[in-house]
Amino acid sequence: MKWDTLEEEPCSVARTVAVIGDRWTLLILRECFLRIRRFDDFQASLGITRHLLADRLKKLVRFGVLRKIPYQDAPKRYEYILTQKGLDLYPIIMSIVHWGNIHMVDARGRPMLHQHKTCGKMFDPVMVCSECGEPLSAKSVHVHPGPGARKSSPVHAKAAERAKAG
Amino acid sequence: MKWDTLEEEPCSVARTVAVIGDRWTLLILRECFLRIRRFDDFQASLGITRHLLADRLKKLVRFGVLRKIPYQDAPKRYEYILTQKGLDLYPIIMSIVHWGNIHMVDARGRPMLHQHKTCGKMFDPVMVCSECGEPLSAKSVHVHPGPGARKSSPVHAKAAERAKAG
DNA sequence: ACATTAAGTTCTATTTTAGAACTGTCAATA
DNA sequence: TATTGACAGTTCTAAAATAGAACTTAATGT
């Protein structure tokens, strides 16, 4: 697999992974949602090397996840803020946080708690069906090829057959 | 940052990223949810090098996301199947798919469609508040330090102040 | 004149990954 | 009996990515 063409794969997971699929990028996005916006603040709070930080920010800007906004003119300085496309990553970050809360906490408990401004309560995120509102699980979902699908893979066909037989 | 201690960071994002935060792992998990279970099937469908595949599978087993189940005795052969901890990654994968569907599709449309067995309809996943059921957005959520929090970071405090001032 | 803040860039050493070939077991086939 | 093929890895070298530190540029404050 060549990572530079991953974003053209006929798969929405692969295309998203092309944008956010590495450790530093996910941690940078966490900081964005915690309202970190400046180069040195990202660097200080993450301990990422400046080289990689510059690289990742550039990439996120190129993909339209972040936008550079000038906050000072002399010398020119920019803040990195989330675009709508970036804000739309929120469910990904929240589901990552939630899985960590459930499966990776130590004895001290959760590092962070979330309060819903709308209803005022502490909450967990729940993923539901847009049509009926019921919570989703892997087993309650059927996958179909869509209009942008590649020709069906023999490997998946074989695996599906085995699953039916065994 | 040292990746080998990332899972002990006082942050649920960091801890989850320690498990799933690289390209290949996310793509391997996609295949798991598409019912791929065997070494050579993962290898063929992803084009990952056998070396890395072995490494990533081992790691996912170590973290309790996958379990090795024998399916044949001579020679001993195993399948890798998702544990409950692994199945619980479903919202992460689905939110990744959904973001790709919205922001990364080309003219041909979505590679895959999802049907909810419970209600029978094609759907999109929606993340809602566990308490009031309303859809969540970054702006409708307040973050509080929890019992497992680290001492509050000066970087975040400074950034929050700037956000209030500016 | 000198130190500081901010946002990078450049450098070398180390680690990870890619790509291909190789190993070991067993079953089925010629 | 010898050969082929399926399967699940391991081992090897070359290429790429990352870590860690120092350097650059531009302006401000003392």
| pLDDT single digits (tens) A17-32 | 999 999 999 999 999 9
Whether residue A149 and residue B16 make contact (CB cut-off 8 A), yes or no, is no
Tell me which residue in A18, A114, A140 faces B141 most closely, judged by beta carbons.
A114
Kindly state the tokens that stand for B58: 């081992």
**How does pLDDT run across B32-57, given as a tens digit for each residue?**
999 999 999 999 999 999 999 999 99
**B94 lies within 8 A of chain A by CB:** yes
Whether residue A130 and residue B130 make contact (CB cut-off 8 A), yes or no, is no
Kindly state the tokens that stand for B91: 């919202």
Write down the mean pLDDT value for chain A: 95
**B69 lies within 8 A of chain A by CB:** no
Residue A3 with chain B: CB contacts under 8 Å:
23
Q: Is the CB of A99 under 7 A from strand D?
A: no
Closest nucleotide to A43, Cα to C1': C7
Which amino acid, residue A105?
Answer: V
Give the Cα separation of A148 and B105 in Å (integer). Answer: 8
Q: Is the CB of B69 under 7 A from strand D?
A: no
Strands A77-82 and A112-116: unpaired
Protein CA at A163 to nucleotide C1' at D4, angstroms: 27
Q: Please tell me the predicted confidence (pLDDT) of residue B20.
A: 97
Give the Cα separation of B96 and B78 in Å (integer). Answer: 29
Size of chain A in residues: 166
* b/e map A27-65, b = 16+ CB within 10 Å: bbbbbbbbbbbbbebbbebbebeeeebeebbebbbebeb
Kindly state the tokens that stand for A59: 């990439």
Q: Are B44 and A155 in contact (CB under 8 A)?
A: yes
Protein CA at A142 to nucleotide C1' at C4, angstroms: 60
Closest nucleotide to B24, Cα to C1': C17
Local structure of B134: helix, strand or coil:
coil
- Computed on alpha carbons and rounded to an integer, the radius of gyration of chain A in Å comes to 20
Protein CA at B39 to nucleotide C1' at C28, angstroms: 22
Selected for mutation to probe chain B from A63, A72, A92 (highest B CB count within 10 Å) is A92
DSSP per position, B71-102:
EETTTTEEEEEE-HHHHTTHHHHHHHHHHHHH
**B161 lies within 8 A of chain A by CB:** no
Beta strands in A21-164 (DSSP E): 66-72, 77-82, 112-116, 125-129, 141-145
Count Cα atoms within 13 angstroms, Cβ side, for A134: 14
Which residues is A141 bridged to in the sheet?
A: B116
Residue B41 with chain A: CB contacts under 8 Å:
155, 158-159
Closest nucleotide to B68, Cα to C1': D8
Give the Cα separation of A97 and B74 in Å (integer). Answer: 42
Place of tokens 């929240």: A94
Whether residue B36 and residue A141 make contact (CB cut-off 8 A), yes or no, is no
A137 closest CA partner among A126, A123, A148: A126
CATH topology assigned to domain A3-112: Arc Repressor Mutant, subunit A (1.10.10)
Q: Please tell me the predicted confidence (pLDDT) of residue B154.
A: 86
Mean pLDDT by 10 residues, chain A (166 residues): 84 97 97 97 96 98 97 92 98 98 96 98 98 98 95 86 74
Residue B5 has pLDDT above 70, yes or no: yes
**How does pLDDT run across B15-32, given as a tens digit for each residue?**
999 999 999 999 999 999
- For residue B18, what are the CA distances in angstroms to A30, A31, A118? 14, 16, 32
Residue B2 has pLDDT above 90, yes or no: no
Closest nucleotide to A25, Cα to C1': D18
**How does pLDDT run across B58-91, given as a tens digit for each residue?**
999 999 999 999 999 889 999 999 999 999 999 9
- For residue A8, what are the CA distances in angstroms to A18, A19, A144, B106? 9, 11, 20, 8
Which A residues 29-58 have CB within 7 Å of strand D? 47-52, 55
* b/e map A80-116, b = 16+ CB within 10 Å: bebeebbebbbbbbbbbbbbbbebbbeeeebbbbbbb
Q: Please tell me the predicted confidence (pLDDT) of residue B166.
A: 62
**How does pLDDT run across B117-135, given as a tens digit for each residue?**
999 999 999 999 999 999 9
Q: Please tell me the predicted confidence (pLDDT) of residue B1.
A: 67
Top CATH class of B3-140 equals mainly alpha
Domain positions in chain B: 3-140
